[in-house]
Amino acid sequence: MSTITLDQRWPRDHYLSSGFRLRDWLLTTDHKRIGWLYFASITFFFFLGGIAALLIRLELITPRGDLLSPDTYNEMFSMHGIIMVWFFLIPSIPNTLGNFLIPLMVGARDLAFPRLNLLSWYIYTIGALFVVLTVLLGAVDTGWTFYTPYSTLFTNTAVLAAATGVFVVGFSTILTGINFMVTLHKMRAPGLTWMRLPLFAWATYATSLIMILATPVLSITLLLIAVERIFGIGIFDPALGGDPILFQHLFWFYSHPAVYIMILPGMGVVSELISCFSRNRLFSYKGMVISVMAIALFGFLVWGHHMFVAGQSMYAGIMFSLFSFLVALPSAIKTFNWTATLYRGRILLTAPMLYAFSFIGLFTIGGLTGIIVAAMAIDVHVHDTYFVVAHFHYVMVGGMVTAYLGGVHFWWPKMTGKMYSEIWSKVAALALFIGFNLTFFPQFILGYQGMPRRYHEYPEDFQLLNVMSSLGAGVLAIGYLLPLVYLTWSLFKGKPAGANPWGATGLEWQTSSPPPKHNFVQIPTVTEPPYAYRDQDNTAPFG
C-alpha cells in the first residue's frame, strides 16, 4: 500500500509462540489470536450447516421424500439457514480476517478495545451453544426467517432456543462493529489518511456501520417473537389484533442490510487480491471508496423488495423496486473497476487470484439475477421458488464464501508463517467453481419453471435438474474439504513464508510472518498512497 519507515529489527517471539496453554488462548486479548478463535468457531459451524445442506440435496435426488420425513426436512433447511447466515456468513470475514488484519493494516498494536474484542467472541460462543441446544431439542422448522404467526403460535419446535441464540450473537456483532469503527477513527498510523486506507479497511468500516445500525432491529424483532409466544400478546397475530406484515418489515429492514454485512467485506478482500496479482494500482480508488459507502447506504432502502407479494402498497413496491435497481450501480462500479485494474496488468494466476476471478463471475450472475427479482412483475412469478434460492446463493455463497477463501489463502502466510500447496489450492478453487455452478445454476431453471423452495417432494419432470444440483453439491463439498486438509498440513509441513511472499503493498506485509505479539516494534509512518505497485520492483517471489 505504501512506503513506510520503521525499525526492521523484529523480536524473535511471534504471537503464536507466546503460550500454547488453553488458558493462554481463552483469556487472550491479542486481536490475532481472537481472530483464530473465531476462525475455528465459524469453521465448525460452516461444516455443521454444510451437513444439513448435503442431507437436503440427497433428499431431493428423487421426487418422492424417501430419505427424510417432511418434518425432518423442514428442520434441516431451517437449521442450515440459521447456522449459515448468523454463525458463518455474517461473522466470517469481519470476525476472522478483520480481527487479524485491521490493526496491522492501520499500523496499530491492537484493536481499540481488546477486552471487548474477547468478550464479543464469548458472546458469539454463548449464542452458538443455544443453536447446539436447538439441535438437541429437535431443531426448529420455521426457516431461518422465523416468519410469524407460524413461529409464535403453531410450531412446537425449539423456536425460543434458536431465536435466543440469534438474539445473543447480535450483541457480538454490535461490539465487533464498534471496535472496528473506533480503531479506524482513532488508531491509524501517522500519515495514514482516510484516502490512504486499503479497500479492505473501507469495506470493514462500511460493514461496521451496518452492524451497529441494523442489528438492534433484529434483536427487538426476536424479542417480540418471544413476548408473543410466551405471553400471548397480539403483536404479529391478526387474531389478537397484531399485524404479521409488521414482522416482515422489521425482519427485512435488518436482513437485507445483513446481505451487505456478508458481501461488502468480500468486496474489500477481492480489491486487495485483484490489485496485488495484477501488479497494478486499483483503478479509481476514490470511486471504489464511494461505491462501498453507497452500498451501505442503499442497503437500508430496499428491504421491501422481499415483500412484493405480501400485500404492501403498490406505490411502496414501485419505490422499493427503484431503489433495488439503484443499489446495483455501485456494485457495477466495483465490478468494472476490478476489470479495469486487470487491464495491462501482469496477471499472476495464484490460488487467491483464482478465487478472486470466481468471485467476480459468480457475484455478477447473482447481481444480474438480483435485478430480475427486483422487477415486480417477474418477482411475482419467481417468488418463493428455487430461482430465489439460486440468486441468494450466487451472491452469498458464490460471492462471499469465495472471497473469504481467497482472503484466507492470501493472508495465510502472514497468519501462520507457512506456505501451502499451490497445486492443491488451485485444484480446490477449480472444484469450488465447477461444483457451485453445477449445484445452483440448474436451480434458476427449476425456479423459473415453477418449482417452489422448501418442498421435499416435487413432480418427476424436475428430477434431472435436481440430480444435477445434488451432484454439484458433492463436487462443491470436495472444494470445501480440500482447503481444510492442505491448510492444516501446511501448519506442520509447509515451507516457511517470508514477511511478504506475494510482493504485496500494505502495512500488514511490512512486519514479520507471523507478526510479533504487538504487531510492530515501532509504529510505522505512511508516506505514499495505497496500491503503489507501479512504483516498485515487481520481481518479488511468489508462492
pLDDT tens by residue, 275-307: 999 999 999 999 999 999 999 999 999 999 999
pLDDT tens digit sequence for 377-408: 999 999 999 999 999 999 999 999 999 999 99
pTM for the predicted model, two decimal places: 0.94
Least confident among 310-314, 409-413, 460-464: 310-314
Q: Locate cell 436451480: which residue? A: 443
Percent of the chain with pLDDT over 70: 96
Radius of gyration of the chain (CA): 23
Q: Give how far Cα 293 sits from Cα of 34, 185, 417, 522, Å.
A: 27, 16, 34, 32
pLDDT at res. 534: 64
Q: Is the dihedral angle over the CA atoms 272, 276, 282, 283 positive or is it negative?
A: negative
Contact 34, 22 (CB under 8 A): no
Q: Is the pLDDT of residue 1 over 80?
A: no
Contact 117, 111 (CB under 8 A): yes
pLDDT tier, 62 (very low <50, low <70, confident <90, very high otherwise): very high
Q: Is the pLDDT of residue 23 over 70?
A: yes
pLDDT at res. 277: 96
How far is Cα 361 from Cα 349, in angstroms, rounded to an integer?
16
CA neighbor of 501 nearest in space, from 443, 378, 423, 419: 419
Q: Is omega for the bond preceding 530 within 30 degrees of 0, making it cis? A: no
Q: Is the pLDDT of residue 516 over 80?
A: yes
Helical packing angle, 31-59 and 463-493, nearest 10°? 150
Q: Is the pLDDT of residue 331 over 50?
A: yes
CB count within 10 Å of CB 370 equals 22
Written as nine digits, the cell of 126 is 454463548
Contact 296, 211 (CB under 8 A): no
CA neighbor of 487 nearest in space, from 369, 429, 408, 541: 408
Three-state SS for 517? coil
Q: Measure CA 406 to chain center.
A: 12
Written as nine digits, the cell of 91 is 461473522
CA neighbor of 366 nearest in space, from 401, 339, 342: 401
Written as nine digits, the cell of 249 is 418489515
CA neighbor of 279 nearest in space, from 350, 347, 353, 360: 347
Which residues are CB-contacts of 58 (< 8 A; sequence separation ≥ 6)?
A: 67, 470
What count of residues does the chain have?
543
Q: If you average pLDDT over residues 43-71, what whole number do you get? A: 94
pLDDT at res. 8: 39
328 phi and psi, to 5 degrees? -70, -20
Q: Locate cell 414501485: which residue? A: 318
Least confident among 58-62, 201-205, 284-288, 524-528: 524-528
Q: If you average pLDDT over residues 239-245, what whole number do you get? A: 89
CA neighbor of 96 nearest in space, from 47, 178, 45, 31: 31
CA dihedral 366, 371, 372, 378 (to 10 degrees): 140
How far is Cα 242 from Cα 218, in angstroms, rounded to an integer?
18
Written as nine digits, the cell of 456 is 421435499
- State the number of CA atoms in the 13 A half-sphere of 8 facing the CB: 5
pLDDT at res. 522: 87
pLDDT tier, 367 (very low <50, low <70, confident <90, very high otherwise): very high
Written as nine digits, the cell of 122 is 464469548
**Which DSSP category does 307 fall into?**
G
Q: If you average pLDDT over residues 487-507, what whole number do you get? A: 92
pLDDT tier, 12 (very low <50, low <70, confident <90, very high otherwise): low
pLDDT tens digit sequence for 143-182: 999 999 899 989 999 999 999 999 999 999 999 999 999 9
Q: Locate cell 427487538: which residue? A: 220
Q: Is the pLDDT of residue 494 over 80?
A: yes
The β-bridge partners of 4 are 526
Helix, strand, coil % (nearest 5) of the chain? 70, 0, 30
pLDDT at res. 3: 43
494 phi and psi, to 5 degrees? -70, 155
How far is Cα 408 from Cα 506, in angstroms, rounded to an integer?
16
Burial of 153 (0-12, 13-18, 19+ CB in 10 A): middle
How far is Cα 482 from Cα 491, in angstroms, rounded to an integer?
15
Longest dimension (CA), the chain: 72
- State the number of CA atoms in the 13 A half-sphere of 466 facing the CB: 25
How far is Cα 96 from Cα 367, in angstroms, rounded to an integer?
25
Kindly state the helix (H) or strand (E) to which residue 5 belongs, with its residue range.
strand 4-5
How far is Cα 326 from Cα 115, in angstroms, rounded to an integer?
40
The full DSSP string for 195-258 is GGS-HHHHHHHHHHHHHHHHHHHHHHHHHHHHHHHHH---SS-GGGT--HHHHHHHHHHHHHHH
Q: Is the pLDDT of residue 34 over 70?
A: yes
Q: If you average pLDDT over residues 428-446, what whole number do you get? A: 97
CB count within 10 Å of CB 382 equals 20
**Which DSSP category does 512 fall into?**
-
Q: What's the chain's average pLDDT?
A: 92
Three-state SS for 539? coil
